[in-house]
Amino acid sequence: MLRMSMSPADLAGVRFAISPAWEVVASLRVLRDPGAHAVHLPWVTRHRDAVLAAPGLRELRDLVLTPERHLPGFLAPAPRTPIADPAAEFEASGHGDQMRAYWDLALAPYWDRMRGILEADVMFRARRLADAGPQAMFPELAPTISWADDVLSVNRPGPALDFVLGGRGLVLVPSLFAWPNVFVKAAEPWAPVLRYPARGVGAMWHDDAPAADLAAVLGRARATLLAELATPSTTTSLARRTGLAAGGISAHLARLVTAGLVARRRAGRQVFYVRTARGEALVTPG
């Protein structure tokens, strides 16, 4: 069990961030043990042989893939911005060239869709934190996470570890390749960070076409958007995930709202779209 005692200052310092460098590290670990990460097998099948054979990635592979090694903290520190720039994170890692080469080989082709799913998760979690507080939001991050008496606990193998965050705050990083695990770094001098499995990870490698009958009624683009809206999303997030133009998405969403299949929800300056009960009934078989 790992426990982090959080003061009011720590709770006030909770923030969300997206880290490309962490996805590099976590995805390499998936390649080490693909059987434990079955949801990513389509990606593993496409890229494992090329990554393991690339001579220019040897040092990075050794740092991450050797089972007895602890993950070096400098490889993926807590992001300083809500959506970290890949090049900047790679440069700060001290292994920028190898991380960039691996990124270009195995992750860059998927980054728009990855980023869309991660952004949707951040928006959902932030709204839960604002609406229901940490006692509701934290345990929803993963089954191994609990919250009681101002202590955030992660049930995991190994010796018991206790940390007092001491006003340093906590960065919550949704991750596609962390699934199904939770990763925590809370020892000084690093900024405390908790990486958890993002919602929607199962849809990352499976582009299921909308049902033919639904596409015939709504049109393929609107049927695709309705299928994607299992998670509340902005037009920008939908554009990244679907490849459709943002202007066209706005027009399609307006029609879906008029039809009562989708509803608008405002959070600060952003507008999210989500399926209504009527939309759910249309998408869900039976």
Note if the pTM is more than 0.85.
Answer: no
Mean pLDDT of 121-147: 91
pLDDT at 128 over 80: yes
Mean pLDDT of 134-146: 94
pLDDT at 72: 66
Query: What structural domains does the chain harbor?
Result: 2-201 (no CATH), 208-279 (1.10.10.10)
Radius of gyration of the chain (CA): 20
Bridge partner list, 15: 171
Read off the pLDDT of residues 238-252 as tens digits, 9 standing for 90 and up: 888 888 888 899 999
Read off the pLDDT of residues 54-110 as tens digits, 9 standing for 90 and up: 988 988 888 787 655 566 667 777 888 888 889 988 888 777 899 999 999 999 988
Please give the C-alpha separations between residue 270 and each of 22, 110, 123, 229, 261, in angstroms, as whole numbers: 26, 25, 10, 16, 20
Six-digit token string for 227 = 């299928």
pLDDT at 155: 94
| Separation CA 3–CA 206 (nearest Å) | 36
Read off the pLDDT of residues 23-59 as tens digits, 9 standing for 90 and up: 999 999 898 888 888 889 889 999 999 998 898 898 8
pLDDT at 206: 63
Read off the pLDDT of residues 160-183 as tens digits, 9 standing for 90 and up: 999 999 999 999 999 999 988 999
| Separation CA 273–CA 276 (nearest Å) | 9
Read off the pLDDT of residues 214-239 as tens digits, 9 standing for 90 and up: 766 788 888 888 888 877 788 888 88
* Better-scored residue on pLDDT, 212 or 181: 181
* Max Cα distance, the chain (Å): 57
Confidence of residue 272 (pLDDT cuts 50, 70, 90): confident
H-type alpha helices, 54-163: 58-65, 86-93, 96-102, 111-132, 134-140
Contact 51, 57 (CB under 8 A): yes
